[in-house]
Amino acid sequence: MFDLKMEKDLKYYLVFLSIVFFMQFVYQVIFPISYLPLSIPEKLPMEYVGTAGLYLGYGAIALVSLSLSTRIKSMLLLFATDVLSPILSHSVEITLLGIAASSIVIVESFLRQRQVKGILLLPILVMALLSMISAFTIDLLSFTFNPSYSFMFLISSLSFVLYTVLWGKNNKRSVLKYLASIPALFLFLPLYFMVEDNRFMFMIMDMTFSAIYGISFNNPDNLGLFILLLSLSTYLSVVIALKGNPTAGLGYFIVISDVFMGITGYHLIEYMLLVAVGFSLITLKSDGKENEVEKKTIKKEETPASNT
């Protein structure tokens, strides 16, 4: 049974994780493009913020994984990996442990779902596991395993569209939430028009996105598709959060931000662990147990009041 105190604490840990993750995302974006002949305002402070996010990330992962271990037992293995990873950084043992722990958490999170719509998360699971395989072949076998990740990203994004539509109630208020999320599309969409109209910027962004997201394109023309899918995925993260599932929104954005790192080898074990944590957050509210816990909590709180 899911511990009520741990659930209450988990909410605070997720807030901490979201802050730390976006700090990391700043580093993930700024560091690769800092070598380009571009003028970036406040670049040095943003690098400091991002670096702090990387160190705080180990603590955030530890707190969240330990809290989720009451529901996802393999999170204990992820917690142990997170604690050991700063000590055994870049070792073969910690790489294998990270791949194994992350893969087990992803599979267990998927299998413990209770609702039929959870099958729509299968493409995301496959994409994440193939990324773990890429990490294994590159880091340990010096072999590049690189299927068409743009196509996989397309399939997983379309499946998450359906998952988002089916999650929760669809009424007039839902329409307003879809409309209110439109600004999220423009986080990446301007880059699409930039690279489509400017061949020089296309080549620059092709190298930049490879460095930021770890993805290498089998076909360079897939860059435009990748940017469109990033825009769509960011939009979906906001939509499902507004529909009442913010953990899934945060989890999905974490997954799409770090899942492709395995293609070039995870630069930090932290990115690998974040993919597993992100996927588990997507599935966290899929079985409706949170609603049952909330109802039980309300009844327990109302019972003393009724007796007085």
Torsion over CA of 5, 6, 9 and 14, rounded to 10 degrees? -150
Tell me the torsion sign for CA atoms 160, 164, 167, 170: negative
How many CA atoms lie within 13 Å of 38's alpha carbon, on the beta-carbon side?
A: 15
pLDDT reported for residue 218: 62
pLDDT reported for residue 286: 60
pLDDT reported for residue 4: 55
The domain tally of the chain equals 1
pLDDT reported for residue 38: 64
Rounded to an integer, the average pLDDT of 176-195 is 87
pLDDT reported for residue 306: 45
Confidence band for 292, pLDDT divided at 50, 70 and 90? very low
Mean pLDDT (the chain) is 81
Residue 130 identity (one-letter amino acid):
L
- Name the residue with higher pLDDT: 9 or 253: 253
- Name the residue with higher pLDDT: 305 or 115: 115
Model confidence over 66-84: pLDDT tens digits? 899 888 999 999 999 999 8
Long-range Cβ contact pairs of 55-62 (< 8 A, separation 24 or more)? 56/20, 56/23, 57/20, 57/21, 57/24, 57/270, 57/274, 58/82, 58/83, 58/85, 58/86, 58/270, 59/20, 60/13, 60/16, 60/17, 60/20, 60/21, 61/17, 61/270, 61/273, 61/274, 61/277
Q: pLDDT at residue 64 above 90?
A: yes
pLDDT reported for residue 289: 45
Gyration radius of the chain's alpha carbons = 20
Rounded to an integer, the average pLDDT of 93-111 is 91
Q: Is 124 within 8 Å of 282 (Cβ atoms)?
A: yes
Domain, as residue range, for 283: 4-307
Number of neighbouring beta carbons within 10 Å of residue 8: 11
Q: Tell me which of 23-27, 175-179, 223-227 is least confident.
A: 23-27
- Give CA separation, 142 vs 85, 134, 136, 138, in Å: 21, 10, 9, 5
CA 286 to chain centre: 16
pLDDT reported for residue 260: 83
pLDDT reported for residue 250: 94
What is the rounded distance in angstroms from the CA atom of residue 91 to the CA atom of residue 301? 50
**234 token code pair:** 């960011």
**Helical axes 246-258 vs 269-283, angle rounded to 10°:** 150
pLDDT reported for residue 265: 65
pLDDT reported for residue 259: 87
Model confidence over 9-21: pLDDT tens digits? 888 899 999 999 8
Rounded to an integer, the average pLDDT of 135-148 is 76
What is the rounded distance in angstroms from the CA atom of residue 7 to the CA atom of residue 12? 9
